[in-house]
Structure 1
Amino acid sequence: MKGSTMFRPIILALLLCAPALAEPITSGPRPLYLVDQMAPGPLRDRLMSCANDPVRRTLFSIGHRGAPMQFPEHTVESYVAAARMGAGILECDVTFTADKELVCRHAQNDLHTTTNILATDLAVKCTAGFTPADDDMRAHAECRTSDITLAEFRTLTGKMDAANPNARSVAQYMDGTAGWRTDLYAADGGDLMTHAESIALFKSLGAKFTPELKPAVVEMPYDGFSQEDYAQKLIDEYISAGIPASDVWVQSFNLDDVLYWIRHAPEFGAQAVYLDGSYRIEGWRPDLPETWVHQMGDLKAMGVNYIAPPTWVLLALVDGEIVPSRYALEARAAGIEIITWTIERSGPLQNGGGWYYQTIKDVTNSDGIMYEVIDVLAQQVGVKGIFSDWPATTSYYASCVGLD
């Protein structure tokens, strides 16, 4: 019955007043595990010196979808875990249902990998039902929030975001969690949330807000619901909840969304975050401004005060040392603040670190490099915050070096 319409209000009510959330913030064993992997030096010594110090809640530590390294993303459980690890800002990625209600999901079409929908009667409503793998094709499915109503969405439970492409059955397809993640905290599922519920929960946890307006996979306008309506509805839910704009960093990869907020909700637009996706363009390079879609001065002139590229865009190697990239330096020179993503999303870093470490892969040879990366981002790039799939890592660093 977990996640059912009957029990979800009770679960949320209990969490909103749970005394456990007033307990001291804890980081667990992982931060010091990472410190143990570091090469000897001043940074390692400083981080080790904080081993017995309390970890504080800090705005530098942002819970990326909660704490999805071990908890199902965008669930009550994931968000509570992130807050207990000191995340001062929590993220609800926002999309909408068939009846145009806002809910927390990373994509409008990810229910087949992030929830139990394929194992429920709602599977028949999916845009594309489960198709098993065969010798010529991988297993696949596509289930969208816009395939179902909010009432139906509430009956689902969250699971670790994964799918087995070689699956011959629904059960096999749903059982695809990476070995370095875990299903330990997902056995009973996770409680899904509306955007409005996330606002109430984050407030009760003492955290601030960074919702991301996700692109629709349905054609817009959707049943009369325009992109502008969508962007405004997100803002309206903060206004209705009495949340000050200064506590909210709204995000979008769509620059037009950011410009809409700047023009039509300027108090929120002042902290609107442009998720610069220019890196997807063939030939784009962080060290070559001539390949950039927008120069930093032009973005600033539009009213953009925050950008958020992935971590690798902000980093470069010079004589084997990790340093800020040209992109990072140009952004700061233009007076644009930087937030970045995502620490703790790559798994073990022994062999180059994968996508998030691509500009520094030649020196990425152990998990210990993670704190070197965080330190360069904080001290040399000057980022305001870092998204993490396991916020204890960034909370520990920020508490140790005295960041807000």
Structure 2
Amino acid sequence: MKTHYLPALLCLAGPALAQGSETGADMIDYGPRPAYLIDKLEDGELKDTLSACLGQTPAKSDFSIGHRGAPLLFPEHTVESNVAAARMGAGILECDVTFTADEELVCRHAQNDLHTTTNILTTDLADTCNTPFSPASGDSDATAECRTSEITLDQFRTLEPKMDSFNAAATTPEESMGGVADWRTTLYSDGATLMTHAESIELFASLGAKFTPELKSPSVEMPFNGFSQEDYAQKLVDEYKAVGIPPEDVWLQSFNLEDVLYWIEAEPDFGAQAVYLDDSYDIDGFDPMNPATFPESMQSLYDRGVRYIAPPLWVLVTLDDAGDIVPSTYAEEAQAAGLNIITWTLERSGPLANGGGWYFQSIADATDSDAVYYELLHVLAQDVGVEGVFSDWPATVTFYANCYGL
């Protein structure tokens, strides 16, 4: 059985980072990617400014948020992924939170992602999966679904994390563990370490980072064995209170507006900067240029106590008649209402030569090279005025934040 004890895990952070933020800052390293992206920019003011910062001393920035750590190359929600993010200067780190069968909080992007993020299908716990592995056959893809709510915390601890992927052509459980995008890697997966939510708090604190946990929507009907949605939301907060984490260092997140409103009412110190992850983009007819399609007005959210809103990148921008990236009406409405804006997720799309995919859909016509990562980030920071940016490779955002003094 693989054990997970934070004193041992902290050794993975290295002696400097484990001592706290001041000495940890000495270890911050951008690596080669920011310079690589800057080289791809067209000549102009942005390239000149960023190029002039290439010799700067890296520093941690709260503008730079590790999205599940640094999952461009590391298995998400692992100790190693978050240590990598901290070493790239991410001032805020994320644990997506779900629960096990015994109602313990753990870091997973979804309650039902164990078949894509761990080795569960090749272990004895495969029998616990809600949907057992079914091999690909003819025109039918392989399928499986495995939930944390089907196993105990002790069982969860026996699993080995891997890069998030599922090989839809698999005919065996072992083959299903493949399918990693060719612009990611498995080089940093060996020996990666899962975390509970409580362990993430201790780790992030040791790294000198702040906290942005996301309460994930359950895959099971709530209440779950008497464990209500309110119990779930409260337990998340209680794990910060239990170890004395200041509320101002925590940005609670949820796609469920009722969770955010619960925190505002029940835990006002934490609720003051709770983040509403707006998924209006999933509604038929949603148009970030047309406020009539927004299910909630920005002013209505503000009047109900919400102070932070977090849509995906593409919702905040559009292209003007000249083909330049500019703020969307959605962004302007949020600004006018006094809402703080956070956005997600940079460096999640792979190479941008062909439009950038889902995260770049509103500016696809201008997305033709990796340089657009910095072009978009510049508009988000300077024109939209976002407070922070989630990234799968935080060094990209940290470099920009340091260069522009964010």
TM class, shorter-length: over 0.9
Which of 58, 61, 68 is matched with 1:58 structurally? 61
Partner of 1:220: 222
Partner of 2:257: 255
- Verify the 8 A CA contact 2:17 2:206 in the aligned structure 1: no
Distance in 2, matches of 1:20 and 1:91, equals 17
- Structure 1 segments, 4+ long, off by >2 Å, are 7-11, 13-24
Hey, what does 1:302 align to over in structure 2? Answer: 304
Match of 2:402 in 1: 399
- What is the correspondence of 1:39-50 to structure 2 with a 5 Å cutoff? 39-50=42-53
SS in 1 for 2:47: helix
Aligned residue type for 1:386: V
Q: Is 1:32 matched with 2:35?
A: yes
> What SS does structure 1 have at the residue aligned with 2:62?
strand
The residue number in structure 2 matching 1:116 is 119
What displacement does 1:8 show?
4.3
**Secondary structure of the corresponding residue to residue 191 of structure 1:** coil
Secondary structure in 2 matching 1:271: coil
Q: 1:207 corresponds to which residue? A: 209
Distance 1:10 1:268 in 2: 27
Match of 1:361 among 327, 342, 364: 364
Secondary structure of 1:141's counterpart equals strand
Matches of 1:394 and 1:346, distance apart in 2: 15
Following superposition, the deviation at residue 189 of structure 1 comes to: 3.8
8 Å contact from structure 2 (residues 93, 211) kept in 1:
yes
Q: How does 1:144-293 map to 2 (within 5 A)?
A: 144-186=147-189, 188-293=190-295
Distance (whole Å) between structure 2 residues aligned to residue 87 and residue 26 of structure 1: 11
CA distance in 1, matches of 2:404, 2:331: 22
Asked if 1:71 is matched to 2:74, the reply is: yes
Partner in structure 1 of residue 392 of structure 2: 389
Taking structure 1 as reference, are residues 16 and 80 closer, same or farther at Cα in structure 2, changes over 3 Å only? closer
Aligned match of 2:133? 130
* Whole-Å separation in 1 of the counterparts to 2:51 and 2:27: 20
Could you tell me how far 1:400 is from its partner in structure 2? 0.8
Q: Deviations over 1:70-120 (max 9, x none)?
A: 000000000000000000000000000000000000000000000111111
* Secondary structure in 1 matching 2:27: coil
Contact 1:341 1:387 in 2 (8 A): yes
Structure 2 spans left out of the alignment, 5+ residues: 19-23
Contact 1:17 1:204 survives alignment (8 Å):
no
1:128, distance to aligned residue in structure 2 (A): 1.3
After TM superposition, give the deviation of residue 55 of structure 1 in Å: 1.3
- The answer to whether the Cα contact below 8 Å between 2:343 and 2:390 also exists between their aligned partners in 1 is yes
What is aligned with 2:11?
A: 14
Identity of aligned residues (%): 63
Query: Aligned letter for 1:41?
Result: G
The answer for the alignment partner of 2:21 in structure 1 is: none
* 1:295-374 equivalences in 2 (<5 Å): 295-318=297-320, 319-374=322-377
Partner secondary structure for residue 400 of structure 2: helix
Shift of the 17–355 alpha-carbon distance from structure 1 to 2, 3 Å rule, reads: closer
AA aligned to 2:15 is A
Secondary structure of residue in 1 paired with 2:319: strand
Secondary structure of the equivalent of 2:230? helix
3-state SS of 2:341 partner: strand
Deviations 1:274-327 (A, max 9, x none): 000011001000011111100011000000000000000000110211000000
Residue 20 of structure 1 and its aligned partner are, at CA, apart by 5.4
Equivalent AA in structure 1 for residue 374 of structure 2: Y
Preserved contact between residue 72 and residue 189 of structure 1 (Cα < 8 Å): no
Paired AA for residue 163 in structure 1: F
- One-letter code aligned to 1:190: A
Residue 9 of structure 1: CA displacement? 4.7
TM-score norm. by structure 1 comes to 0.97
Distance 1:97 1:330 in 2: 39
| In 1, Cα distance between equivalents of 2:300 and 2:5 | 46
1-side partners of 2:10 and 2:357: how far apart? Answer: 41
* CA–CA separation in structure 1 for the residues paired with 2:174 and 2:135: 11
